[in-house]
Each structure stands twice: as C-alpha cells, then as structure tokens.
C-alpha cells in the first residue's frame, strides 16, 4: 500500500470547543502556478466534546456515493461508532479553505483516497490512544479501541474519545501508523446506506441552481448557433424594456483562454442580466442578434464522416503500436476481415442544466459552482476575469455546491467562466443559467469517431494479424494539452486484445473540427470498446468460434500484460477472464432464446476495473429493439461500499443503453440539430430491463466503478442485435 505521498501531510490541533481536529493537507501542485507553500485541506476528522465525530472529505458528490465511501474509510481506521458520525459536505468549509486535489472524475475517488484517508483515521486514533495512555500513566500499546472508546486491557479502565480529544492534539502526529488488516474491517466492504436521502426527499438539498446570494442577478446567454461564430451586432431595445432586465452584455469567448491556450468558454454570445429568472428569460427571447457565422457555417456530420472515411484507408498519421509485421501477416492469412465502426457526438446532459453564480469585487472573485472540479472552476474564473494566474489561489474563492448530476460534463468549468466574466462586467453577483436547449447545442461533447479494423485469421479462426486505425477530433487537441499528444485522449493501444495477437498495429489520425470536445462517462472507452468488442464478435463468427470462447482463448493464461494508460500499469488477464465467465454463466450464455431474441457479450478493462456484460434483446417488427435483460459482472478490486457499487453499475449500464440505442448529436450547417429531450432522448422507467449485478471483489487495489460498465453495455447490446437479426451493427446509435 502507498503511504501518504510527500504531497500530503496530517496536522492535529485542538478545537476551541475542546475537541480534536486532524486535518489532511495537500500541496496544490497540479499547475506550476501554485507556490510550493500553499496548502489545502482535503479531508478532516473532528471529535466534538459531545462525542459526535465530523468527517469531511472533499470530493464532490455527484450521485456516485463518495459522500459515503470516503468517510467510511476514515471511520474504519478511527474505530468509531458509525451512528455517531456526521458527514460534512464540502460547501461548509468552502468559506475558509482553498482546494487542492478535489475533483471527481476518471473513476479515481476511491482509488486515490483510500490510503491517505485511512491514514487520517488511524492517526487520529493513535493520538487519542496516546492521550488516554498518558492520563492513565500506562504504555500506549497496552490500550485498544472499540467504537469510540479507548480501553486499558489490564485494568479494564475506559475513556471515551471525546474525553481525551483536546489533550490528543498535543501529541506529535505519528509517522507510520499501522492500518487495520482487511480481515478486521467492520465498515469497509459492508453495505452502507446514504445519509442524505431524507434531505433529498423533502426538497432540502441545495443544488447549484438553488443557491441564493443577496443581491444576485440572473443571466441567460444567447450563444451563436454556429460553432466558432461571432456576434456581428445586436439590438437589445425590446429586451431592455422588459421590467427587471438590467444589462445586456456581449461575451467574446475567444478573448479568454487558460495560459496553456485551452478555451474556457464554448461560444461567443450576448448575455441578458435581470433581477429575476423570468425577466432574464423573457429578455433573452426578445433579444435580436446578428451573427458572423464564420468558416464553420457549412460543417456537418456528413462532412466529418466523409473526411474521416478519406483518412481511414491511409497510413495513420501516428503509429502508436506496431508489434510484428501486420502487412505481411495479413497478406498471408487464411481469412481476411475488415470493418469500419462509427459513433456520433454525444452530450452528457445532466438533469440540472449548467449554472454558476459569481461575484467580483475589489479584484477578488467568489464563485458558487456545482462542479466536478472546483480547482478548474478557480482557473476558469480566474482566466475569465483577467486576474494574474499567480494570484488565482488567493484571489478566487470557490464554494463547491452539489450538482444535479455530472457525468463528466461538469469537469469543464465553462459555466464558471461565463458567470465570473459577467460578474466582473457588471460589478456584482450574477447567476448564469443554461436552458436545456443551450445544454444540448452549446456544450462540450464526447467526440464522434471512425474506426477501421482489419484482422487476418489463421485456419483455426484465430486472429494472427490486427490493425486498428482511429480517426476523430481529439479532446487533447481541443484543450491545447501541452504535455500529451492528441491521440493520448483518444486511444489506449494496450486495450485488449493488445499483446495477445501477434502483428498488432494501432494508429491514429486527427481531423479538424469546430466542436468543443469534453468528457462523458467512460471517455475514450465508450467509443473504442464498441469497435473492439464488435470486431472480436465478427472474428468469432467468421472463424466459427463462440464469442466467449474466442475471448478466453485470446486471454490465455492468467498473467499481467502491460497497460500504459489510466488504470495501469498492468492489465491482468485472469481478472478479465473471471468476470467474462461470471457474466456468461449468470447471463445464461449458450442457452436457447425465443425467436427474435438475441444475446450478446462484451468485456473491458476500464480505468483499472474489470467488467463483462451480457445483453438480451428482442426485436419487434424487424425494427424496434427492446433490451430485455442485462447482466454485469464487475471486479473493481477491494470494494468499499458494495451497496454503492451495485447502483452505480445499474446507472452506468443505463447510460450505456442510451448511448447504444438513443443518443446522437448531429451537425448540419455548423450547428447542432437536436434541441430538447424530445429529439435527444433518454430511456424512461418503462424502457429499463432488469439489470443483475454480480460483484467479484478481490484484495487488489480498489479502482473505480462509476464509468466502468458503460462501454460493454453498448457493445453487448450491439452484439445481441446481431445475434437476433444477423445484421452486424457498425454504427451508433443502433438502427435497424
């Protein structure tokens, strides 16, 4: 297990109320802008004199359950009665502290937190024991703890944590405190219920849009419908006549970027600012804007597909992997297969539309943001208000608010940039609100893509040559990423079946595209897994092999293979084999199905966790696809909260089903065509099949779960549709 890294340290102090406070601090060093001495509180445990234990851990809760999981880690090592624990949300601390590693994304929260958080709990416990031992005049190692009490075994004396809490702060923070053996766990690995449901079902939770800051105004922004277009002129005469409308302000998004060159807003536009939501809404409706549509006015999905199709058969611009000699092996193989897979842009559309509240006064910016990365909010707001980057840590205060869903969309803090810019423009407090149409048309998108796959099979139907060419617009290119290449965000060359097929080649070519590219749950995997797992299915059928048998044959002996990207450094074939076998077994693989039904299977190693899924579909009238059943087998390493894992898997599978069957963002004339949940639609309760989740935990380092089941859900459904109809699906969303 890792120790707390040198970038983090624990500090103990007595509270003014007579309690113990142990804080975990991190150096903020993700950007060279921070001074080496600036530190941020990332977690704490506080023992109150009345015995209540407050635990705070700063990862934003977007519905994925870190609000429970992370405090459980601290409480486990602290050895405290869970009923005495109160979980504090980040917003309470936001007034006083600045933030370091406080983001929720990449399915990393549990993985990155588990060791430092357990240390924090263990250190607090050690301090309490030291204080009790001193009071009794005994050796600390003759004391044990149980559920908030210290016990001196030989004499049977006990002290409650709160009775020694103030004294405990006087002791030096011990360096290497032993952690519990997992066999002793009382909390971790056991299902925990959420603590916020009562608040939610009574309408008491404050989401981003619910924040109320005295004097705040509301703003809607009319954004250029064409990507990259600009404001030519605008007429606000009728707008300004609406009672309550205060100002109309142009936003030149192009003028603002991070120091790296990364854009901080997606669109140029004109903002209507009013003293009420309704006045701002009405005012915006009456605004007249003329646009200079610009060079992308004729961009379209068809153009992008066509430009991709031109590149696909050519030599990739970048070769990322080149084992053996694909061309020779392919030319001489018994059977040759080729397929092109395509997927559209998709938009994450959390149910709470983008919004953010900001105030700018005396060169300081304050932001209330429902964000997934409060740190990025600080940067985007700092850049939007023209503050010197070296001052952002001090000059921009971020109050993270609970978001109504994230899904990756809220990792980009463009909404914060807009609010901060407008706050400065009017010298006050502004809440920017996006409508659903704004969200669907002016967002950042999971990129479209085209994949060309080729395989040469031997006479036994086993692939002996494989080539994968990915063509798409790159997110890293859009973000002006300086320390990565454009292909690093688009393809992971070590993805299975890499390293198990000789003569294996992976290449990438980028296409130019004006669409802003962002994050959507499972990222590159939601596209690539569809291509890879569909093609493996095609290979299986071409070679007369069962799709599960082919995958098992390729996985071979249980061993580690290299994996250089997020979730690595190793990919273990045995763990993938086990989830594949479990999904197949529970999914009744190989058993018969009624007519017009089909079963498909897919698997993946996604951000460190292993997953396999079986989908059962039925086809009605040769056209209508209904998912009848989903089975998911998941190995995310050691599981902190099995109850949380199960619902995350179900939610992620549903996201995958939507990507498989519903979601498509289409470009025509440089703009997004879709505009509401009517033409960009998500499944409703009547569409959802039973989703069975089988957890295969291990003692391995825990990785994530929030994103992991999305990709194989898509691929399993596509393979199931083939099984039901004989029609191979090469394009998403699936249409018959």
Partner 1 sequence: MRFKVNGTEHSITVDPDMPVLWVLRDLLELRGTKFGCGVGLCGACTVHVNGTPVRSCQTLAREVEGKEVTTIEGLSPNADHPLQKAWIELDVPQCGYCQAGQLMTAAWLLKQKPHPTHRDIDEAMSDNLCRCGTYLRIRKAILRAAELKEGKA
Q: Which of residues 334-363 bind partner 1 (CB under 8 A)?
A: 349-353
- 205 is a contact residue toward partner 1 (CB under 8 A): yes
The answer to whether the CB of 398 falls within 8 A of the CB of 94 is yes
- 214 is a contact residue toward partner 1 (CB under 8 A): no
Q: Please identify which residue in 651, 670, 704, 712 interacts with partner 1, judged by CB under 8 A.
A: 651
* Residue 550: closest CA among 495, 603, 591: 603
Map residue 523 onto helix, strand or coil. Answer: coil
The answer to whether the CB of 76 falls within 8 A of the CB of 82 is no
| Shortest CB 205 distance to partner 1, Å | 6
- 210 is a contact residue toward partner 1 (CB under 8 A): yes
What span, in angstroms and rounded, lies between the C-alpha atoms of 426 and 418? 12
CA torsion sign for 586, 588, 593, 596 is positive
* Residue 191: closest CA among 72, 83, 288: 72
Tokens of 669: 């004339």
- 204 is a contact residue toward partner 1 (CB under 8 A): yes
Q: Please identify which residue in 127, 226, 517, 691 interacts with partner 1, judged by CB under 8 A.
A: 691
The number of beta carbons lying within 10 Å of the beta carbon of residue 3 is 11
Q: Is 279 or 471 the residue whose CB approaches partner 1 more closely?
A: 279
What span, in angstroms and rounded, lies between the C-alpha atoms of 721 and 410? 33
| Shortest CB 77 distance to partner 1, Å | 25
| Shortest CB 728 distance to partner 1, Å | 28
Instruction: Tell me the per-residue interface mask from 76 to 115 with partner 1, x by CB under 8 A, - otherwise.
Output: ----------------------------------------
- 203 is a contact residue toward partner 1 (CB under 8 A): yes
The number of beta carbons lying within 10 Å of the beta carbon of residue 489 is 22
Q: Please identify which residue in 106, 382, 400, 404 interacts with partner 1, judged by CB under 8 A.
A: 404
DSSP letters, 554-613, are HH-SS-EEE--STT-SEEEHHHHHHHHHHHHHHTTTTS---TTEEEEEEEEEETTEEEEE
Q: Is 144 or 276 the residue whose CB approaches partner 1 more closely?
A: 276
Hunting for tokens 């993700």 — which residue is that? 30
Q: Which stretch binds partner 1 (CB under 8 A): 126-134, 252-260, 275-283, 506-514?
A: 275-283
- 704 is a contact residue toward partner 1 (CB under 8 A): no
Q: Which stretch binds partner 1 (CB under 8 A): 12-20, 359-367, 584-592, 653-661?
A: 653-661
Q: Is 186 or 195 the residue whose CB approaches partner 1 more closely?
A: 195
- 557 is a contact residue toward partner 1 (CB under 8 A): no
Strand blocks (E) in 395-462 = 396-400, 429-433, 449-457
Q: Which residues are CB-contacts of 701 (< 8 A; sequence separation ≥ 6)?
A: 111, 114, 608, 637, 638
- 401 is a contact residue toward partner 1 (CB under 8 A): no
Q: Is 353 or 497 the residue whose CB approaches partner 1 more closely?
A: 353
Q: Please identify which residue in 82, 136, 185, 207 interacts with partner 1, judged by CB under 8 A.
A: 207
Q: Please give the size of the binding site for partner 1, defined by CB under 8 A.
A: 56
Q: Please identify which residue in 263, 403, 637, 733 interacts with partner 1, judged by CB under 8 A.
A: 403
Instruction: Tell me the per-residue interface mask from 592 to 631 with partner 1, x by CB under 8 A, - otherwise.
Output: ----------------------------------------
Q: Please identify which residue in 481, 682, 701, 725 interacts with partner 1, judged by CB under 8 A.
A: 682
The number of beta carbons lying within 10 Å of the beta carbon of residue 328 is 12
Q: Please identify which residue in 653, 659, 714, 729 interacts with partner 1, judged by CB under 8 A.
A: 653
What span, in angstroms and rounded, lies between the C-alpha atoms of 122 and 127? 9
Instruction: Tell me the per-residue interface mask from 16 to 55 with partner 1, x by CB under 8 A, - otherwise.
Output: ----------------------------------------
- 386 is a contact residue toward partner 1 (CB under 8 A): no
Q: Please identify which residue in 5, 677, 735, 736 interacts with partner 1, judged by CB under 8 A.
A: 677
- 241 is a contact residue toward partner 1 (CB under 8 A): no
Q: Is 599 left (phi over 0), alpha (psi -120 to 50) or beta?
A: beta
The number of beta carbons lying within 10 Å of the beta carbon of residue 67 is 22
* Residue 216: closest CA among 272, 274, 269: 274
Instruction: Tell me the per-residue interface mask from 51 to 70 with partner 1, x by CB under 8 A, - otherwise.
Output: -----------xxxx-----
| Shortest CB 352 distance to partner 1, Å | 5
What span, in angstroms and rounded, lies between the C-alpha atoms of 638 and 192? 15
Q: Which residues are CB-contacts of 628 (< 8 A; sequence separation ≥ 6)?
A: 597, 616, 617, 618, 689
Map residue 118 onto helix, strand or coil. Answer: helix
| Shortest CB 555 distance to partner 1, Å | 30
What span, in angstroms and rounded, lies between the C-alpha atoms of 682 and 678? 9
| Shortest CB 402 distance to partner 1, Å | 8
Q: Which helix (H) or strand (E) holds 332?
A: none
Q: Please identify which residue in 405, 461, 502, 574 interacts with partner 1, judged by CB under 8 A.
A: 405
Task: Compute the radius of gyration of the chain from its Cα atoms.
Answer: 27
Please give the residue ranges that form the binding site for partner 1 (CB under 8 A). Answer: 62-65, 193-194, 196-198, 200-207, 209-210, 212, 276-278, 349-353, 402-407, 433, 435-436, 643, 647-648, 650-655, 676-678, 682, 684-686, 688, 690-691
């Amino acid at each position: 297990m890792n120790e707390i890294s040198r970038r983090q340290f624990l500090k103990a102090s007595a509270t003014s109320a007579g309690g113990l406070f142990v804080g975990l601090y991190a150096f903020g060093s993700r950007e060279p802008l921070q001074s080496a001495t600036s530190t941020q509180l990332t977690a704490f445990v506080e023992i109150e004199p009345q015995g209540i234990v407050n635990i705070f851990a700063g990862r934003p809760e977007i519905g994925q359950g870190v609000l429970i999981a992370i405090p459980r880690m601290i409480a486990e090592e602290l050895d405290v009665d869970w009923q005495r624990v109160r979980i504090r949300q980040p917003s309470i601390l936001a007034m006083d502290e600045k933030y370091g590693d406080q983001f929720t994304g990449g399915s990393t929260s549990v993985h990155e937190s588990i060791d430092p958080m357990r240390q924090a709990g263990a250190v607090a416990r050690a301090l309490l024991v030291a204080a009790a031992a001193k009071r009794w005049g005994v050796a600390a190692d003759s004391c044990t703890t149980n559920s908030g009490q210290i016990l001196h075994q030989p004499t049977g004396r006990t002290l409650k944590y709160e009775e020694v809490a103030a004294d405990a702060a006087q002791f030096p923070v011990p360096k290497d405190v032993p952690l519990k053996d997992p066999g002793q766990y009382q909390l971790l690995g056991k299902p925990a219920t959420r603590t916020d449901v009562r608040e939610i079902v009574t309408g008491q939770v404050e989401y981003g849009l619910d924040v109320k800051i005295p004097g705040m105004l509301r703003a809607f922004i009319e954004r250029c419908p064409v990507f990259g277009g600009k404001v030519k002129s605008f007429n606000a005469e009728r707008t300004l006549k609406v009672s309550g409308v205060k100002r109309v302000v142009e936003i030149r998004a192009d003028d603002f970027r991070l120091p790296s060159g990364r854009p901080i807003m997606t669109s140029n536009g004109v903002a209507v600012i009013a003293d009420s939501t309704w006045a701002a809404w009405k005012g915006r409706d009456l605004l007249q804007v003329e646009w200079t549509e610009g060079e992308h006015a004729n961009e379209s999905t068809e153009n992008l597909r066509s430009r991709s199709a031109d590149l696909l058969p050519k030599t990739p611009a970048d070769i990322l992997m080149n084992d053996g000699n694909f061309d020779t092996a392919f030319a001489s193989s018994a059977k040759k297969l080729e397929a092109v897979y395509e997927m559209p842009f998709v938009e994450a559309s959390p149910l709470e539309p983008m919004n953010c509240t900001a105030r700018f006064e005396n060169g300081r910016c304050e932001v209330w943001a429902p964000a997934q990365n409060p740190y990025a909010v600080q940067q985007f707001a700092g850049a939007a208000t023209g503050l010197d980057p070296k001052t952002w840590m001090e000059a921009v205060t971020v109050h993270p608010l609970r978001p109504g869903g994230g899904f990756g969309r809220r990792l980009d803090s463009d909404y914060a940039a807009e609010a901060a810019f407008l706050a400065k423009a009017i010298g006050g407090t502004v809440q920017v609100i996006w409508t659903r149409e704004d969200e669907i048309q002016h967002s950042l998108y999971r990129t479209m893509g085209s994949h060309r796959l080729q395989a040469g099979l031997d006479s036994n139907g086993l692939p002996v040559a494989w080539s994968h060419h990915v063509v798409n617009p790159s997110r890293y290119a859009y973000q002006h990423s300086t320390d990565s290449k454009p292909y690093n965000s688009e393809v992971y060359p070590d993805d299975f079946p890499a390293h198990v097929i000789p003569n294996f080649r992976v290449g990438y070519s980028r296409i130019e595209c004006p669409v802003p590219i962002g994050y959507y749950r499972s990222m590159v995997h939601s596209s690539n897994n569809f291509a890879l797992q569909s093609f493996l299915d095609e290979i299986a059928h071409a070679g007369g092999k069962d799709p599960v048998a082919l995958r098992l044959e390729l996985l071979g002996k249980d061993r580690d293979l290299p994996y250089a990207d997020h979730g690595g450094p190793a990919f273990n074939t045995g763990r993938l084999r086990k989830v594949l076998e479990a999904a197949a077994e529970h999914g009744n693989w190989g058993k018969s199905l009624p007519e017009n039904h089909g079963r498909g299977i897919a698997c993946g190693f996604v951000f460190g966790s292993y997953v396999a899924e079986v989908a059962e579909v039925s086809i009605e009238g040769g056209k209508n696809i209904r998912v009848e059943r989903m089975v998911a087998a998941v190995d995310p390493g050691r599981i902190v909260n099995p109850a949380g894992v199960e619902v995350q898997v179900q939610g992620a599978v549903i996201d995958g089903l939507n990507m498989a069957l519903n979601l498509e963002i289409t470009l025509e004339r440089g703009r997004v065509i879709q505009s509401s949940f009517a033409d960009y639609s998500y499944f409703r309760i009547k569409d959802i099949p039973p989703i069975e989740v089988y957890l295969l935990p291990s003692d391995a380092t825990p990785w994530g779960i929030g994103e992991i089941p999305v990709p194989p859900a898509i691929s399993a459904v596509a393979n199931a549709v083939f099984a039901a109809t004989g029609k191979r699906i090469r394009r998403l969303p699936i249409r018959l």
